[in-house]
Amino acid sequence: MKNERVTYIKGEYVPDSEAKIDYYDGGFQYGIVVTDAIRTFNYKPFKVDRHIDRLMRSLKVARIDPGMSRDELKGIALTLLEKNRHCFNPPHDDTWIFYNISSGRYFVYSEPGKTYPRQTVCVNLWPLEFRRHAKFYLTGCHVVTPSIRQMPPQCLDPKLKHRSRLSWVLAGHEAHEMDPEGFALALDLNGNVTETAGANFFIVKDGVLRTPPTDVTLAGISRETVLELAQQIGIPAEEKHFQIYDVYNAEEAFLTTTSFCILPTTKANGLTIGDGKPGKIALQLLNAWSETVGVNIVDQALRAAGLL
């Protein structure tokens, strides 16, 4: 199809509809997949090198050899952006760039006398669907703590970004029983706040920005960006454990991730955070981020959702 997006898979650039994965791939059979996701602003990738560096670290820990260098992996993303330019209309449209790299055909399913690639490298673009979260810039979102706990770092280091997400899917089901639009915010085994399925979490207490340390949460690139912006505009910040009690009594809170950057959070388990409105520090940081990338992050989402 003429307007179909192009995907990179197993060494080839193919239309999305022709992208295929081996049924016996370790990613499908056992969830052995390392991942990372980059977004664009005005169709230019943001912090692409930081994302590729994290991808390479995760691959090393997972013992997956991608079969190519970091620069070659980066080059695939840049090539895909060129090949898919006809599908996007910046600055109104922007895209995710997804990397999913598996261990290739799992050894149990290797036939005698045959050799198989030691990896399956997939890179694809997907439009940022602003409509899913745009209204929360205005109202704030709701986080819900499920009974399912964050995987302890003694079992799986949260700095390894992977696709084994069943625990998060189950946590999401629990959260949605309380609020169909709620975000599952997991606690660790000690009752400390960690993260959601795809976002880091921040609170503001006594004017200080606080986020969980990376022994219980992903070392997010957006998290890193928030801490950088906070330093630039003079907002004190710290990485420190805290509990849901502290969230209830915070002045404000927000989520941060690749797609929506910063999303104000105004409720936790049905209780109002602060005055129940998006907080001034979250909005300051959003404005600073928008200035950095030359795109009004909130306006872009609101326009796409028909709210502006």
pLDDT single digits (tens) 107-160: 889 889 898 889 999 999 999 989 989 999 999 999 999 999 999 999 999 999
pLDDT tens figures, 44-72 = 999 999 999 999 999 999 999 999 999 99
- Collapsing DSSP to helix, strand or coil, 296 comes out as coil
- Collapsing DSSP to helix, strand or coil, 228 comes out as helix
Q: What is the pLDDT of residue 284?
A: 98
Asked if the model's pLDDT at residue 1 lies above 60, the reply is no
Q: What is the pLDDT of residue 294?
A: 96
**Is the pLDDT higher at 249 or at 114?**
249
Q: What is the pLDDT of residue 202?
A: 98
Looking at the chain, the whole-number percentage of residues with pLDDT higher than 90 is: 92
Q: Residues 103, 32: contact at Cβ < 8 Å? A: yes
Q: What is the pLDDT of residue 2?
A: 63
Mean pLDDT score of the chain: 96
Q: Where are the alpha helices (DSSP H) in 111-257?
A: 136-139, 166-178, 221-233, 244-248
Please tell me the distance from the alpha carbon of residue 36 to that of residue 150, in angstroms, as a whole number.
Answer: 19
Average pLDDT over residues 232-241: 97
Asked if the model's pLDDT at residue 214 lies above 60, the reply is yes
Q: What is the pLDDT of residue 257?
A: 97
Q: What is the pLDDT of residue 242?
A: 98
Asked if the model's pLDDT at residue 203 lies above 80, the reply is yes
Locate tokens 């197993």: which residue? 10
How many other C-beta atoms are found inside a 10 Å radius of the C-beta of residue 254? 31
Average pLDDT over residues 249-267: 97
Q: What is the pLDDT of residue 58?
A: 98
pLDDT tens figures, 63-108 = 999 999 999 999 999 999 999 999 998 878 999 999 999 999 998 8
Q: Residues 299, 308: contact at Cβ < 8 Å? A: yes
Q: What is the pLDDT of residue 251?
A: 98
Helix, strand, coil share of the chain (percent; to 5): 35, 25, 40
Please tell me the distance from the alpha carbon of residue 52 to that of residue 195, in angstroms, as a whole number.
Answer: 22
pLDDT category of residue 308 using cuts at 50, 70 and 90: confident
Average pLDDT over residues 280-294: 98
Burial of 230: CB neighbours in 10 Å, binned 0-12, 13-18, 19+: buried
Average pLDDT over residues 249-258: 98
Q: What is the pLDDT of residue 152?
A: 95
Report the candidate in 169, 173, 178, 170 with the shortest Cα–Cα distance to residue 144.
Answer: 178
Tell me, yes or no, if the pTM score tops 0.85. Answer: yes
